[in-house]
Structure 1
Amino acid sequence: MFLANGVTSANPEQPARIDALRSGAEAAGAVFEAPHDHGIGPIAAIHPAEYLDFLQNIHKRWARMEGASDEVIPNIHPGRHGLSRPDGMVGQAGWHMADTACPIAAHTWEAAYWSAQTALSAAAIAESDGAAYALCRPPGHHAFADMAGGFCFLANAAIAAEALRGRGARVAILDVDVHHGNGTQGIFYDRGDVLTLSIHADPARFYPFFWGHAHERGTGAGEGANLNLPLARRTADEGYFEALDKALARIAAFGADAVVVALGLDAHEDDPFQGLAVTTEDFARMAKRIAGLGLPAVIVQEGGYLQPKLGENLTSFLSGYQDR
């Protein structure tokens, strides 16, 4: 279920996305393999134990409640400033779920766990082979350390970046999804050892609304290690690439020796969310410029919703990356 503007509708994060994306990747020459299980440790390096326990057990607890819905959907969202985490399941759902766009079903934990393992496996391959694409579903960049949101439960890109950092890499996360990667930003906001950058539709009137503004630069040790490049709705072509060039220059100045690309194909002109107007050909241009950094790259799938060119957009990006 998906609630937007007070109206219940079908969730746009549909399983059929996987088929379109896989076909698009294979058209670019990708060969898929099952992810390895790297265990809970790399996930717990980003997400605290009480949140992981919540994700694993909340649906079973919820299902025991008389009259409960099939999916966990909170009806209260605390501001969390100076407040206390409750014991009850309804209160905990509000505590750990930022919005109504992250319903938890019976197999959500399993899906999120293996999505994170997919990103970790791609990170391991990228270290040796130079680049790898992780077909992750559910996505991850709206998940904070202890809070789900926007179809996201575990922060796949952040988990991959932390794994690379733990093995000695200096990592930048470049998010090109149409929506700001607010969870990723929140995870690293007070840290200076991982650079976070996001190019997205201006959140003043676009999800996630409260994060992603240009003045958000990080705090404490992380001051200056976060760069947001919000764009006017329906920005296309040169306006987009001007922002991308700024991001790439910052990555070079940071001295990164690995990059995690949070790849949202929903910046496309025909995506249902209609935030930006990047063309299919632009995804190849985008990929070539990112590849021009000459860094090992983990390309982690984020958004991009069902529309006729979804697979073509991924083909364009991955082909462009290889043609650098």
Structure 2
Amino acid sequence: MKAFFDARQLGHAPTVYFRRGAAMPHQEQPQRAEILRDMLIGEGFEISAPRDHGLAPIKAVHNPDYVDFLPDAHARFVESAGTEALAIPTTHPGLRRGKEPRDIHGQLGWWMTDTSTPLTAGTWEAAYWSAQTAIEAAEEVMSGARAAYALCRPPGHHAMRDCSNGFCFFNNACIVAHHMTSTFKKVALIDIDVHTGNGSLDILYERGDIFFCSLHPDPTTYPTFFLGHADETGEGEGAGKSLNILLEQGASEDTVLAALDKGIAAIEAFGADALVVSLGFDMAADDPLAGVSVYPEGFAEMARRLAAMNLPTALVQEGGYLGPSLADNAKSFLTTFREATR
């Protein structure tokens, strides 16, 4: 199983963001990718740099005007606000699809917005090459490989069609899923990051050819809030093609695995020809943003069950932050998946 990574993804280096009303160190740091890259090297994975597939695959999923806004956005902000200001939005256009949470922090976000995607001088290049890395993994699978892994950073599954959100700028997994529909008639995207794949839900909600499933704690009380409720099952051609499986906060490994089995069963009923996995290691019990309790062997078991679906699979890295077991969790999942798909 080949892995793909581009060092230009390390250029996005935000320092702070606002959470629960206070500025704090930003969780999505370049070191995350370095830890995962070094684990891959240590475990003998072949790591290749992606080719440049251009903007077309990105604009096929995202609003082209949103994509075109990003390349010079930081420079324009600095010219207007100066180098000491933090490039985050402070005016807000209105509401998006979703539901108002009960949690006060979620309610503030419902009426306000997300501060977790500050622009830096290296943001555009990092986000662009994160997307290219994902597309290269898709190309590998479309060319006949059983599986490929995209070490993407910044992550993507919170990015909606026309906005950044939750550390994410481009929705790499949705870009991959859409790209793969040129080869496979039916594609499934399963999100096993601890947070709702809210951006993926937004993008895919009316698609009939891509089935989306996300495992996550109840968004009425857990970030990213708003989207990911059990009754959000798709609209139009996408009716019945979205599945949100809700977990209790602190859910055990066995509970998470049982939820994964439900998602796998739904994907098999859909008749998917190929699989995309939004792979988050923040399901770990010791992750800084932990919401459930999965351990290294649990990640290995998740890999076994997903590999047993016997589908061409693109693994796209999402969350997993600087907790003590990050490398161990990645090693457990990725080496197990590699062995199971040889």
Residue by residue, what CA displacement relative to the aligned partner does 1:162-208 show, whole Å, maximum 9, x if unpaired? 11012344110000000000001100101111101001122221111
> When the two structures are aligned, how many residues end up with a matched partner?
311
The answer to whether the Cα contact below 8 Å between 1:21 and 1:311 also exists between their aligned partners in 2 is yes
Contact 1:145–1:187 (CA<8 Å) still a contact in 2? yes
Local SS of the residue matching 1:192: coil
Partner in structure 1 of residue 203 of structure 2: 187
Q: Is the contact made by 2:62 and 2:161 (CA closer than 8 Å) also made in structure 1?
A: yes
- The residue that corresponds to 1:143 in the other structure is 159
1:107-154 superposed Cα distances (whole Å, 9 cap, x missing partner): 211110000000000111123211011000000000001000011000
2:22 maps to amino acid: V
- Distance apart, 1:239 and its partner CA: 0.8
The 8 Å contact of residues 189 and 226 in structure 1, kept in 2 or not, is answered as yes
Give the superposition deviation at 1:263.
0.3
How far, CA to CA, are the matches of 1:28 and 1:222 in structure 2?
A: 40
**Separation in 1, partners of 2:81, 2:191:** 41
Q: 2:131 aligns with which of 116, 119, 139?
A: 116
Secondary structure of 1:21's counterpart equals helix
Q: Does 1:281 align with 2:288?
A: no
Counterpart check, 1:300 vs 2:300: no
Percentage identity across aligned positions? 47
Residues 28 and 201 of structure 1: CA distance in aligned 2, closer, same or farther (over 3 Å): farther
Q: Out of 149, 158, 167, which is 2:174 matched to?
A: 158
**Aligned with 1:267 (options 276, 283, 294):** 283
- Secondary structure of 1:197's counterpart equals strand
RMSD: 1.7
Residue type of the partner of 2:48?
E
Mean Cα deviation higher: 260-269 or 97-106: 97-106
1:37-56 aligned at under 5 Å gives the runs 37-56=52-71
> How do residues 205-244 of structure 1 correspond to structure 2 at under 5 angstroms?
205-244=221-260
C-alpha distance in 2 between matches for 1:2 and 1:304: 17
Tell me by how many angstroms 1:219 deviates: 1.1
TM-score by length of 2: 0.87
CA distance in 2, matches of 1:206, 1:154: 22
Partners of 1:70 and 1:105 within 8 A in 2: no
SS at match of 2:80: coil
Deviations 1:89-118 (A, max 9, x none): xxxxx9xx9510111112211110000000
Query: Counterpart of 1:236 in structure 2: which amino acid?
Result: S
Distance 1:81 1:232, change over 3 A: closer
Secondary structure of the equivalent of 2:47? Answer: coil
In the alignment, the residues of structure 1 paired with residue 138 and residue 113 of structure 2 have an alpha-carbon distance, to the nearest angstrom, of: 28
In the alignment, the residues of structure 2 paired with residue 250 and residue 155 of structure 1 have an alpha-carbon distance, to the nearest angstrom, of 23
SS at match of 1:256: coil
- Residues 68, 27 of structure 1: CA spacing in aligned structure 2 closer, same or farther, 3 A cutoff? closer
The question of whether the paired residues in 2 share the 8 Å contact of 1:266 and 1:305 is answered with: yes
Paired with 2:113 and 2:46, the residues of 1 have a C-alpha distance of: 36
For 1:267, the aligned partner's letter is M
Shift in CA distance, 104/255, structure 1 to aligned 2, threshold 3 Å: same
CA contact (8 A) 1:261 1:300 kept: yes
- Decide whether the 8 Å contact of 2:184 with 2:274 is kept in 1: no
2:3 aligns to what? none
Which residue number corresponds to residue 21 of structure 2? 6
- Specify which of 263, 267, 288 is matched with residue 247 of structure 1: 263
CA 1:68 to 1:16, structure 2 compared with 1: closer, same or farther past 3 Å?
closer
Unaligned regions of 5+ residues in structure 2, if any? 1-15, 98-108
